[in-house]
Amino acid sequence: MASEVLARPDTRPVLDVGTTLERLGGDEELFGEIAQILIQTAPDQLSSIGAALAGNDLKTAYHEAHSLKGAVAAFEAPAAFTAVAAVERHAKLDEGAAAVAAFAAAQPLVHLLLAELAPYVPAA
């Protein structure tokens, strides 16, 4: 029974909208604009990190993870930030297997963050 509970996915939000808005001075328009930028850029960054790790190009993985970490830092999303920071750290330290494992954990958290941001993106 206990293992069933442990196997359930965490359903808490990745993003703390209220704290993010506080950090942005309550500027909802700015929040939507930076959300849109992350939604547009993060998928390519994730693809680049995955490709770099698959090719054992830890330098590129480090640079892409560093860039993504900075973008995620604009939001109060500590789980996603910490996960991407782990990819960056392991890639920088030339720890390929650890970077791959960290990326496996980071990727779904970034995707959840993007999904949680989507409703705040202004309509075109």
Q: What is the pLDDT of residue 9?
A: 53
**CA 29: distance to chain centroid?**
21
Give the pTM: 0.88
Residue 61's contacts (CB-CB under 8 Å, 6 or more residues apart) are 49, 52, 53, 87, 91, 99, 103
Query: Which pair of structure tokens corresponds to residue 60?
Result: 């590129």
* DSSP state at residue 76: -
Mean pLDDT across the stretch 43-61? 98
Q: How many residues does the chain have?
A: 124
Mean pLDDT across the stretch 61-88? 97
pLDDT digits (tens, 9 = 90+) for 5-49: 333 356 678 999 999 999 999 999 999 999 999 999 999 999 999
CATH architecture classification, 15-120: Up-down Bundle (1.20)
pLDDT digits (tens, 9 = 90+) for 77-122: 999 999 999 999 999 999 999 999 999 999 999 999 999 999 999 8
